[in-house]
Amino acid sequence: MPPSVAPRLVEGRIPPPAHFLSPVTHLNIIEDAPIRQLDTVQADIQPLASALVDPVGENQSDKPLRVALLGYRSQPHGGGQGVYLRYLSKALVDAGHSVDVISGPPYPHLDPRVRLIELPSLDLFANGLLSLRPRHLRSMTNIIEWASKLTGGFAEPYTFGRRAVKYLREHGHEYDLIHDNQSLSYGMLQLQDMGLPLVTTVHHPITSDLRIALNAARNAWERLLIRRWHSFLNMQKKVVQQLHNIVTVSDCSRQDIARDFGLQPAGISLVHNGIDTEVFQPREEIKRNPLRLMATCSADAPLKGVRYLLKAYAKLLRDYPDLELLLVSKPLPGGKTEKLVRRLKIADKVQFVNDISTERMVDYYAEAAIAVVPSVYEGFGLPAGEAMACGVPVVSTDGGALPEVVGDAGIIIPTKNVDAMVAAIKALLEDPAQREELGEKGRQRILDKFCWHVCAREMVAYYRQVLDAGVN
């Protein structure tokens, strides 16, 4: 059954943080009725620069910022958006700033110092259409979400925007700046018109996903369904052209956003994603399995290229019958990935894992001989960066921004090229010294260029630029 449709301050599963907010009455964002009073502990958050090797943030005289990070859905492991919210918010509080994450389901896993404000939706993709009850139809937002799902659409960015506007009409004054993570909904234009300083991260244009999905479609009916699901792009194209402060995570994404959304690249700021190098690091106490491949990617998303990895793995088994493949992914029951695994007769060889902790993820990286990133396109490529931070040699495609991240610290192959993937993996399987060398180079590259402390410092500088300009 869908969760309650009232915003929730989540303090039961994490320690109650010291926070800058005053006690507030939270409103039911669907029916506009007060539901409960929550007393929040009052305390100033002090900068934690002393705990950092390279302190993030600004001069001590600069006022710490109060930031609201918005995410319409924030899957903690199966997608980059939840990861982005988790680590950016942590890096910001490390720098001495206050952060609330305001998210629709699924909710991210956050640092205990970051407060999660849940904006529940019907979450019909998890709960199914049959979970709807008459009481849910008292809200126009719920009706829109249900009707869209019923007709094959994806309305979550739009409906999240409506819910976020209702919440921030009441609480927007409690923040210095609102940072939206790619909802690109009409609600963001409302927040901008309300005078709230707004920054929007666009990881990459979803138009790329649409093109790749259409190319992978088997027939006209499937292409029609794909176009219907991606109909939210009509909204995003209109919204992004009216937003004043846009930031993206790679130069590749900047060029693609400009091309697909009709913007000038110079008008899009660049702040690279980061990798948590304190969590994602080599585990010397764990012995690597010289015959294990690992990949972290959405199993049934054509964008992630899993089918090319599975085909390459089937070929590799001819020469390496004991070779293992671990996929951090959850394939759809009866979906394309499951069918392909059965057709290739590798069901007893491929191991799928999901809903694991970050710590277990790092353990898996420590056990792997090679990490493979088969993506057709990536706006940044967190799985590549995380593997490199763990000292795992990487075989990556040249899809999107992946060459920016991997550089010369891995083997880069063309997208969709199964034979090239096989050859690259074979070369590393046969050369332990090269595996060790690339693992060390990859770790150092992430430390030098893509840690979250650097990301937070650059993002805060951008926030202050926006605030100083007074352009909302």
pLDDT in tens, 287-305: 999 999 999 988 788 889 9
Mean pLDDT of 438-442: 97
**Lowest-confidence pick of 28-37, 354-363, 430-439, 444-453:** 28-37
User: What is the CATH superfamily name and number for domain 292-450?
Assistant: Glycogen Phosphorylase B; (3.40.50.2000)
For the stretch 125-130, contacts whose Cβ atoms lie closer than 8 Å and that sit 24 or more positions apart, written own/partner, are 125/149, 127/1, 127/2
Q: How far is it, in rounded angstroms, from Cα 56 to Cα 346? A: 47
Between 40-44, 110-114, 389-393, the lowest mean confidence (pLDDT) is in: 40-44
Coil, strand or helix: which one is 351?
strand
| Closest-CA residue to 367 (of 431, 288, 308) | 288
The identity of residue 273, as a single letter, is N
Percentage of the chain beyond pLDDT 90 is: 61
Same fold, 8-51+63-274+453-469 and 292-450: yes
Rounded to an integer, the average pLDDT of 93-108 is: 94
Residue 134 is predicted with a pLDDT of 74
Helices 251-261 and 207-216: crossing angle, nearest 10°?
A: 80
Q: How far apart, in whole angstroms, are the C-alpha atoms of residue 116 and residue 29?
A: 16
Query: CA gyration radius for the chain?
Result: 22
Q: Is the pLDDT of residue 2 over 50?
A: no
Mean pLDDT of 350-363: 91
User: Is 295 within 8 Å of 371 (Cβ atoms)?
Assistant: yes
Residue 472 has pLDDT above 90, yes or no: no
Distance CA 210, CA 303 (A): 9
Query: Which of 47-56, 162-171, 342-351, 376-385 shows the lowest mean pLDDT across its residues?
Result: 47-56
Whether the pLDDT of residue 388 is over 50: the answer is yes
Q: Residue 293 gets which letter from DSSP?
A: E
Residue of 181, 170, 127, 110 whose CA lies nearest to 4 = 127
Is the pLDDT confidence value at 437 over 90?
A: yes
Q: Do 106 and 206 touch, CB atoms closer than 8 A? A: no
The region of weakest confidence among 24-28, 156-160, 205-209, 433-437 is: 24-28
Q: Among 100-104, 191-195, 357-361, 404-408, which is the least confidently predicted range?
A: 357-361
Averaged pLDDT, 417-434: 97
Q: What is the band of 138 on the pLDDT scale with cuts at 50, 70, 90?
A: confident
Fold of the 8-51+63-274+453-469 domain: Rossmann fold (3.40.50)
Confidence of residue 220 (pLDDT cuts 50, 70, 90): very high
What per-residue confidence (pLDDT) applies to 223? 92
* Pairwise CA distance, residues 305 & 307, whole Å: 5
What pLDDT is stored for residue 148 in this prediction?
82
Whole-number mean pLDDT of the chain? 84
Q: Which helix (H) or strand (E) holds 302?
A: none
Average the pLDDT over each of 30-44, 149-163, 167-181, 212-226 and give the range with the smallest value: 30-44
Mean pLDDT for the stretch of residues 347-362: 91
Structure confidence at residue 46 (pLDDT): 30
Per-residue pLDDT at 212: 83
Mean pLDDT of 422-443: 97
DSSP type of residue 152: T
The per-residue pLDDT for 144 is 85
The model's pLDDT over 273-291, given as tens digits with 9 standing for 90+, comes to: 898 899 999 999 999 999 9
Alpha-carbon gap, residue 387 to 190, rounded angstroms? 39
CA–CA separation, 222 and 220 (whole Å): 5
Distance CA 132, CA 146 (A): 8
* Residue 28 scores a pLDDT above 90: no
Which pLDDT score, from 0 to 100, does residue 62 have? 79
Residue 9 or residue 469, greater confidence: 469
Average pLDDT over residues 90-97: 95
Does residue 133 register a pLDDT over 90?
no
The domain segmentation of the chain, as residue ranges, is 8-51+63-274+453-469, 292-450
Cis ω before 331 (30° cut-off from 0): no
Range with the lowest mean pLDDT among 6-10, 268-272, 446-450, 453-457? 6-10
Ramachandran region, residue 101 (left: φ > 0; alpha: ψ -120 to 50; beta: rest):
beta
pLDDT score of 24: 31
Helix segments in 58-132, DSSP class H: 80-94, 124-127
